[in-house]
Homo-oligomer: A and B are copies of this chain.
Amino acid sequence: MILKSQVEWALHCCAILAGLPDGRYLSTKALAELHGLPKEYLSKALQSLSQAGLVHTTLGPSGGYRLAKAPAELTFLDVVEAVEGKGRTFVCQNIRANNPCRPKDYCESGSCAIARIMWEADEAWRTALRKVTFADLGKTLEQEIDPGIWAGTFDWVLKRAG
């Protein structure tokens, strides 16, 4: 059970978009170059973000993506769920219904303890991701990243932003 690499890509792209000045857009091409990723495939991840309403897009030259909300309103969970889906990681096949000791067509009284426990763990994971916004991430990155690279990347992005 491993998250798709598109999750990582989407998180990085949102981190960049979160640093973009208001009203500017950054294209798939620029984001792909910046991260060394296949442009066409990265595009699918960005489309997922778009379908989830997390980013806003414009067409034509100087078009591309920007965040649809303020970085403080966008959580890691938003991005992860946009790419990976909102489904639970534990899916119940209801194998208890195969128990030969049960009367046929016995009606279950809701979800069982095993499924509930697994789903609670799922929810703990989601809660942890919901707590972190891209404003939080921006602050941390600014402290941790080499200032030269930070500034250089910022310039690089601005030059290519429409």
Q: Which A residues lie at the B interface, using CB under 8 A?
A: 1-5, 7-9, 11-12, 15, 33-37, 76, 84-85, 87, 89-93, 95-102, 106, 109, 112-114, 117-118, 120-122, 124-129, 132, 137, 140-141, 144, 146, 149, 152-153, 155-156
Q: A1-B4, A90-B7 are in contact. Are A121 and B117 (CB under 8 A)?
A: no
Which residue of chain B has its CB nearest to the CB of A122?
B125
Give the CA-CA distance A124 to B132 in the complex, in Å.
14
Choice from B33, B102, B149 contacting A102 with Cβ under 8 Å = B149
Q: Of B95, B99, B112, which contacts A144 at CB under 8 A?
A: B112
Chain B CB count within 10 A is highest, among A76, A85, A117, A152, for: A117
**In the complex, what's the smallest C-beta–C-beta distance from A10 to chain B, in angstroms?**
11
Contact between B5 and A93, CB atoms less than 8 A apart:
yes
Q: Given known contacts A33-B100, A113-B140, what 18 new A-B pairs fall within 8 Å (CB)?
A: A1-B2, A1-B4, A1-B85, A1-B89, A8-B91, A8-B93, A8-B95, A12-B95, A35-B95, A76-B117, A102-B149, A112-B144, A113-B137, A120-B128, A121-B128, A122-B125, A124-B125, A124-B128
Q: Who on chain B is nearest to A125 by CB? A: B125
Query: Is the CB–CB distance between A100 and B156 below 8 Å?
Result: yes
For the complex, what is the distance from the CA of A130 to the CA of B76, rounded to whole Å? 24
Cβ of A121: which chain B residues have Cβ within 8 Å of it? 76, 125-126, 128-129
- Known contacts being A2-B1, A89-B3, A137-B114, is A109 close to B156, with CB within 8 Å? no
